[in-house]
Chain A
Amino acid sequence: MTPQMLIAAAHIPAPHVPFGGLSPLLAFLGGALIVLMVGLMSPRRVREQGVPALAIIALGAAIGLTIWQWGDQRSILDGALRIDGTYLVANLILATGGIAAVLLAWRSAAGHEAAHGELHALLLSSLGGMSLLTAAQNTVVLFLGLELLSIPLYVLCATEMRRERSLESGLKYLIIGSVGSATLLYGLALIYGATGSSSFGAIAGAISARSLTGDVMLLGGITLAIAGFCFKASVAPFHQWTPDVYEGAPTPITAFMAVATKVGALVAFLRFFDVALIGASGDWAPTVAVLAAITIIVGNVGALGQSSLKRMLAYSSVAQAGYMLAGVVVASKLGVRATLLYLIVYLFMNMAAFAVIVARERETSFGDDIQAVAGIGRSRPWLAWPLTLSMLGLAGIPATAGFVGKFYLIDAAVSGGYTWLGVVIVIGSMISLAYYLPVVAAMWMREAPASAAAPAAGPSGEPGPSGSPYPAIAGGSPELDEAGSAPAHGGPHGEVVLVAVLAGAATLFFGIVPQPLFDLVAHAGRGLGLF
């Protein structure tokens, strides 16, 4: 490097980097690096306990930094990112979901097989991608965030390396996810071609200034972008991968994907469509509304009759994505708030459910089959109540946060002139009762199957006349059984029960006292941009 070049470099105006605004993102990514390095240390204790602890510290720091930024509203890095209420609320959801996922993964088989350091580093960098995605104000950053989110997840799905389904899940997700990314990228390129800009604000300006609403290139771009987003958010008809991937992935990872990917994808959806393409909303809103309706019906119908709880929750998450799209469609402040509020509620309800599944996978040999929760109302009330509240919440029963969330979404849909979509949400909820209620029935109204080997089954644990004896290996592969039976002797895992109880309690609490959630999202809609 010659001295001239150095001098020239000094003259290039270095962009001002506002580290304050970036700090939550940096906490995620920095945490990922530290965790990865610490994971290389040899003492077993450090790897198995220090690494998750550090990951939780990093996530806690992200929450702290997010709260520090509270109320901030500005664009940073030359308008590439936007720090606003939506970003901050999304970060809170992400970090909370991340902590729950780390706790669930702490003593899981995935952690043992893939090294702990890698597992948590991937988790944190995926969170970093989501965080970036929720702040993106630029198609390039948007794509960058999406890829940073996705690639670690492809690996994470396959972290139970000795289980075929896990590997299959990772591969499937990789292929489908890449198709989705490519489609989105193509769409973004076409939109760039039509508007001549990659910044959301400039795209919106170009659309309104040049009245591009019927432009073929723009329409093509929007169509492909919708398809790409729909792949990521598992919106029908691009949801086919969801059940297989959710079922195959290690359960803590499934929990993380179900919650965090939805946050990333939906907030990006909100920003891109409700800010950049707001001028063309006449073009895309009816399409997305129809997609939302299809998603709600397809997801809820698909979940019927599933005996695997993870598959059932996968279809249910498809349906929930449909509900939340209703908030995107109306393209209003109310819609943004309703979507964010539902994302928070959705976090609690899903974490409670997945934590119970994780606990039961370790305690019984049934894996994630519905048999695994049969009769736990009597033997494991601390798991049965959270799962009950979660199921009732997902079905939208009053006194749970799910009711409030659904109420707000329908409210937003009706206010935005999409009354029919509100009715579809309700019809979806009706269908959903047919698969949520049997789970509750299994917990409270059936006896534990004979071989569940729940230690605390008590005097009533003997099978009723109708309880059919299942062979001990009914759960599936031997690896799973091995993973499931090993910790069972060590007693239930406190941290898993803790996640379940806290998430269940939050579901109930925010159903009765929802005001804090409304306060939280109140200033989120304001800063989005162009309303």
Chain B
Amino acid sequence: MPPLSVLIWLPAAFGLRGALAGIGPLGRALARDGREQLVPGALALIASIAALGLAIGYIVEYGPGTQSGQTVTQTLQHVTNVAWIPALGIHYKLGVDGLNVLLIGLTTLVFAVAMLAANLRSGPGATERPRLYYFFFMLAESAVLGAFLAQDLALFVAFFDLMLIPFYFLMGMWGRGSRPDRIKATIKLVIYTLVGSLLMLAAAIATGVLASQQHGTHITFALSSLQALPLSKGSQEWIFLFFAAAFLVKMPAFPLQGWMPDGYRTMPIEVLMVFSGVLSKVGAYGFLAIVLPLFPKAAVHFQMLMLLIALISILYGSVVAFTQTDARLIAGYSSIAQLGFITLGIFALQPQGAEGALLQMVNHGLVVAPIFFIIFLLSRRAGGSEDIKDMGGIAFRAPVLATLFLVVALATLAMPGSANFVGEFMILLGLFKSKLVIAIIAFAGVAGASVYALRLFIRSMHNRVGEGVRSREISARDGLILAPLIGAILFLALYPQPALKRSEGSASAAIAEARLIAAPTVARVGAEEVSTPVVHSTPHLTVASGRHGSR
């Protein structure tokens, strides 16, 4: 497989070439035909599909850890490690592990589908100023992939902040609604999310500097090195809160979701698919890949707080989702609930919970992107309105569309047999082991999901035919856009095992240390059962657990 840099920068490079379309012999030839408007989109589509191909290659090649015995160590593959800013100890370090291998698959898939959708939207609805549009879109893909693959804290922060900028332009320049509203919504979204990430910047720098000071080593930001240099509990706590703010805004979680309604209403459809499907996962991924390994003591300290935030997000998201009538917002608030589940799984600090959370991240991305696209299709059949009050009876002449929608809706409510069921089940299983009461309350969220998903389906597809509704079958073009996503949902439903096998080792390694601190005796017994070398070979873990055990 080629190095990961190819995967990351391929989209940006093609996007840039597209932005410069009209230059060079090919560009001039096309410009004479008046077809140069199509070049950037085509290039972006090629790049995103090539990236998807590469990502599938990495997934196939990624074996779940070393197979000998039952070793569950985190193995980093395809490592690229170059000093980027030596004076600051920042490395351009990339790698694939069990945490991000599925997520890069999700990212490239959703981006490829979004590019397909954008390219096929020709005619009067075609994108204006395509060169900039596809340039920013591809830049976004590069930044998101960079954030997932970065194995250096500073690099992660840089990509994390960077990925917002293309969305700022994409929303502000091509968004829906009147110009002032659109700009207001865009700036609100960007400030909300950047405020979180800037706090994270300060926290990340503090992590590197304080780790080197407290251990008297040279400054470094590489995640693997930082993990070996644990911070004191006091430092961990405030740093944890800063990181949590950044990730919770991005998800979004309950008290920090203010940007979501206006933002989701404003985004163009492809941007919305990507934003809800992929960007929200970066936050959840950050908890697993960065917060839990680096700040385990703080994670245990704030476990209850995070679980409560997650729980409130689930209940709040579910309740608001079934009071809304704007279909986009129903899906948006349901995402808050789903991300709440993922947070629960992560902070259950149990291997099953973390694994389930990771699986659920992929599931949610695969489900929410087609839902938004279907809402887009529905609104075209309902006279342009995205309000479910204006829909109704759309299934009448569109059985295929209804079937596809039903598949997605059932996956959303975690019907047994879907991969979402597996994910939610594992999350709750993990939670039962650590926090029984919260798990019981979280079940209400499971019930809530079926209410809002089915409500959306029934109100739009069945019921009385709405006034402006003109039911018609899904076109082959739109079917082509939905097919890859629904195919992936079905594939994961039938074969969740390959996905789980790839992630389990890394997921349990990510929470291993926090788990030890949270419940030293249980964890040690559990660890002996599976004989994890992680536990036996690192002496400072036992020291830490001993201290906490006596508390």
Residues of A bordering B, CB below 8 Å: 378, 392, 396-399, 403-404, 406-408, 410-411, 414-415, 419, 422-423, 425-427, 429-430, 433-434, 437-438, 440-441, 444-446, 464, 466, 514-515, 518, 522
Contact = CB atoms under 8 A, between A and B. Distances in A.
A427 B200 CA distance: 11
A398 B161 contact: yes
Contact of A415 (B129, B162, B172, B213): B213
A430 B191 contact: yes
Shortest Cβ-Cβ A-B pairs, 7 listed? A398-B158, A426-B202, A445-B172, A414-B209, A518-B87, A398-B162, A430-B195
Given A403-B158, A445-B179, A410 B202 contact: yes
Interface stretch (B34-42, B66-74, B180-188, B384-392): B180-188
Contacts of B144: none
6 contacts: A392-B165, A398-B157, A429-B198, A441-B183, A466-B180, A518-B85
Contact of B199 (A397, A426, A445, A446): A426
A433 B168 CA distance: 12
B419 interface: no
A441 to B, nearest CB: 5
Contacts of B173: 444-445
Interface string B452-473: 0000000000000000000000
B91 to A, nearest CB: 13
Given A408-B88, A426-B202, A446 B162 contact: no
Given A466-B179, A515-B86, A437 B201 contact: no
A437 B198 contact: no
Nearest to B163: A398
Contact of A441 (B154, B165, B172, B205): B172
B206 interface: yes
A414 B85 contact: no
B169 interface: yes
Given A425-B202, A430-B199, A445-B182, 9 more contacts: A392-B165, A396-B201, A423-B199, A430-B191, A433-B191, A434-B191, A441-B183, A445-B186, A515-B86
B254 interface: no
Contacts of B205: 407, 410-411, 414, 422
B210 interface: yes
Contact of B178 (A399, A407, A466): A466
Contacts of B199: 423, 426, 430
Contacts of B180: 466
Interface in B334-361: none
Interface in B354-391: none
B433 to A, nearest CB: 37
B159 interface: yes
A398 B159 contact: yes
B473 to A, nearest CB: 36
A379 B158 CA distance: 31
A422 B206 contact: yes
B305 to A, nearest CB: 20
B483 interface: no
A466 B129 CA distance: 20
A441 B162 contact: no
A410 B88 CA distance: 11
Contacts of B85: 404, 514-515, 518
B541 interface: no
B79 interface: no
Contacts of A396: 198, 201
Interface in B317-333: none
Contacts of A406: 201
Contacts of B210: 414, 419
Contacts of A427: 198
Contacts of A438: 183, 187
Contacts of A437: 168, 187, 190-191
Contacts of B209: 411, 414-415
Interface centre among B173, B190, B201, B213 (most CB of A within 10 A): B201
B201 A426 contact: yes
A45 B430 CA distance: 82
B194 interface: yes
Contact of A419 (B183, B198, B206, B219): B206
Interface string B137-173: 0000000000000000010011101100100110011
Interface in B203-251: 205-206, 208-210, 213, 219
B168 A522 contact: no
B194 A441 contact: no
A430 B187 CA distance: 12
Contacts of B201: 396, 406-407, 410, 426
Contacts of B159: 398
A430 B206 contact: no
A242 B86 CA distance: 37
